[in-house]
Structure 1
Amino acid sequence: MVTTERVESKEQLDEAYRIRMEVFVNEQGVSPDVEIDEHEEDAIHVLVKYNGEPAGAGRIRVVEGMAKLERICVLAQFRKHGIGAAVMEELEEVAREADLPKAKLHAQTQAAGFYERLGYKADSDEFMEEGIPHIRMIKKL
């Protein structure tokens, strides 16, 4: 069973950070100094669990009048169980509750198809972030 939580406790935030470190730092080679950044306290974080076990995470901030969805990740052993879609659904719900008209994200190009299936459209040429090719994508909420 997939459940979503908005992070409200230090324990939940630690779980979200643990997932992000595993995916972005250990799996993809992003520097740990960059992964946890100055925007953590400004963001609303979400945690998704699969059968009670922390499996995915993401965060949302308001940037230039729209929702910016960031740090969306799922642990390898939980991929293909709808965890990524659950993270996105909860982040978009946060944005709708804040009456934000659009959501944007910097998608790794290898994941662009996933975001397209959720209604996001490419809005930029490819660019590099932390040595990984990305593309900006936007969705009207």
Structure 2
Amino acid sequence: MSLQVQKINHPEDLDKAFAIRKIVFVEEQNCPPELEWEHEDESVHFLASYNGQPCGACRWRKTDNGYKLERFAVLKDFRGHGVGRALIAEALSDLPDDAHYIYLNSQLDAMSLYAKFGFVAEGEQFEEAGIQHFRMVKQV
């Protein structure tokens, strides 16, 4: 069993990441497509593969607030195999050394996973694309 996460440098890999996000967010979670596809050009994207099969994606981008990790998506058949953990670890390791404020908006059922990487919930619960979230900030 081989799990790999790599930074995306080729358009065809970006297409694979977008296809995964479409299945997870638009089809499974009914997120409006127009909310799903934004800030793509300013983001650094990652693709996870399990035995050579694309199975997960995420990205990070610099915002006015700091560095935001987002769009973590793992195909249903690959959940529970460490794909999400591998994506988080790779995205975090790719951030610049001066990334002091790192945050994300977590769906409620993913909060415990992000907590393993030092993220803590901040502020009030809120709704984004019809799904309940908390902002989580990494303690450095």
TM-score after normalising by structure 2: 0.94
Quick one: distance in 2 between partners of 1:49 and 1:84? 11
Change in 2 beyond 3 A, CA 1:90/1:132: same
Which residues in structure 2 correspond to 1:51-70 (within 5 Å)? 51-64=51-64, 66-70=66-70
Question: Does the CA-based 8 Å contact 1:65-1:100 persist in structure 2?
Answer: no
1:71-130: CA deviation from partner (whole Å, max 9, x where unpaired):
0111000001110011101110111x3421131000011211111122110012100001
CA distance in 1, matches of 2:6, 2:76: 20
Which residue in 2 is equivalent to 1:3?
4
TM-score, normalising length from structure 1?
0.94
Say whether the 8 Å CA contact 2:120–2:139 is kept in structure 1: no
The one-letter code matched in structure 2 to 1:46 is F
- Residue 65 of structure 1 and its aligned partner are, at CA, apart by 5.1
SS of the residue aligned with 2:127?
strand
Larger helix proportion of the pair = 1
Identity of counterpart residues, as a percentage? 38
1:41-95: CA deviations, max 9, x gaps?
A: 0000001111111011001001135210010111000001110011101110111
Deviation at 1:138, TM superposition (A): 0.6
Q: What are the ranges of 5 or more consecutive residues in structure 2 without an aligned counterpart? A: none
| Equivalent pairs, count | 139
Residue 79 of structure 2: aligned partner: 79
Query: How large is the RMSD of aligned CA atoms in angstroms?
Result: 1.2
AA of the residue aligned to 1:131:
G
Distance 1:18 1:122 in 2: 29
